[in-house]
Amino acid sequence: MYKVIFSLVLAVASFMGLHAQEFQGMAVYESKTSTSDFKTRMEGNKEMTLDMQKMIEERMKKMFEKTFILNFDKSASIYKEEEKLDTPGQGGGGMRMMMSMTGGGGTYYKNVKEKSYTVDKEFMGKEFLVKDSLPNLKWKMEGETRVIGGYNCFKATAVRPASKTDFRNFRPKKEDAATTKPADGTKKTNLMDELDMPKETIITAWYTPEIPVNQGPENYWGLPGLILEVNDGKTVILCSKVVLNPKVKTEIKASTKGKVTTQKEFDETVLKKMEEFREMNQGRGGNGGMRMRIGG
């Protein structure tokens, strides 16, 4: 009880300080998605050499381990992947497509006052500007607390539909007789046929009232304090650094480049292209071309 009162007092003090000036903050987040289930599937594939496994693991690490910067003020924020020099030979069309489907690429702008977001995305050589309403996350406040980076944090959970266009949500199908031995006796090697998509995911977030802004990484928001960690069971986004009122201010505004579209329209475009890849791979006799295309 005393811990809650103490945190609320700190939050009020911080809130007063926040409004006493042109407040701005910067937070660094490390995003990491578990790939252990994919590694297990690769290790069980006798047709894949150790060199091939190593190559794919390195590229998966590039896709699933990233650093992001969140710049925020009282009502808006921009969330963008930390800029890095591309490794030569790893910028193929398939690789860029997968990068855009694992949280990377573009600037994610959130305006919590207007409850809207704008994100510019490149997909298959075309630029899109996705504009839509922020997801209505129905957070459930839990009783647990912990300290992250010196900040007292509180736990909150929510259930949300899994995005069908975010590759981080895919899970390999469980091996069984139906999937390992098709009726025609041929072995399925089409990646999309070997993946499952959960209908929903359980989100666990840790937020600190000591930084009283309604912000967080990616499209997470809606808690009475900055979200310092998010976990959906497979992807963990953890804040590693916070700077309040940095000397150099960042312009927080939405991108304007790309064809304006809604999230639903963009998802339909991505799913259609994924289906085209799947059919093209099947037309080649299911020889694994899709798997290698996504690998690089």
The DSSP secondary structure of 147-215, one letter per residue, reads: EETTEEEEEEEEEEEPPTT-GGG-EEPPP-HHHHS-TTSPPP--GGGGEE--SEEEEEEEEETTS--S-
Q: Whole-model pTM?
A: 0.74
113, pLDDT greater than 90: yes
Q: Are strands 140-148 and 126-133 parallel, antiparallel or unpaired?
A: unpaired
Q: How confident is the model at residue 288 (pLDDT cuts 50, 70, 90)?
A: very low
**Residue type, position 264, single letter:** K
Model pLDDT, residue 276: 82
Model pLDDT, residue 24: 96
How high is the mean pLDDT of the chain?
77
Most confident stretch, 52-66, 88-102, 184-198, 232-246: 232-246
- When pLDDT is averaged across residues 81-99 and rounded to a whole number, the result is 56
Q: How confident is the model at residue 185 (pLDDT cuts 50, 70, 90)?
A: very low
225, pLDDT greater than 80: yes
- When pLDDT is averaged across residues 109-129 and rounded to a whole number, the result is 93
Kindly state the percentage of the chain with pLDDT values over 70.
Answer: 61
183, pLDDT greater than 60: no
**Lowest model confidence (mean pLDDT) among 14-23, 47-56, 153-162:** 14-23
- When pLDDT is averaged across residues 180-187 and rounded to a whole number, the result is 49
254, pLDDT greater than 80: yes
Distances (CA, A) of 108 to 181, 185, 238, 280: 43, 46, 17, 32
Closest to 243 measured CA to CA, from 74, 78, 67, 69: 69
Alpha helices (H) in 46-148, listed in sequence order: 50-64, 93-100
Which residue has better confidence, 183 or 155? 155
Chain mean position to CA 173? 21
Give the neighbor-by-neighbor strand order of the sheet with 126-133. Answer: 140-148, 151-161, 200-208, 226-231, 235-244, 25-33, 65-72, 76-81, 107-111, 116-123, 126-133, 259-261
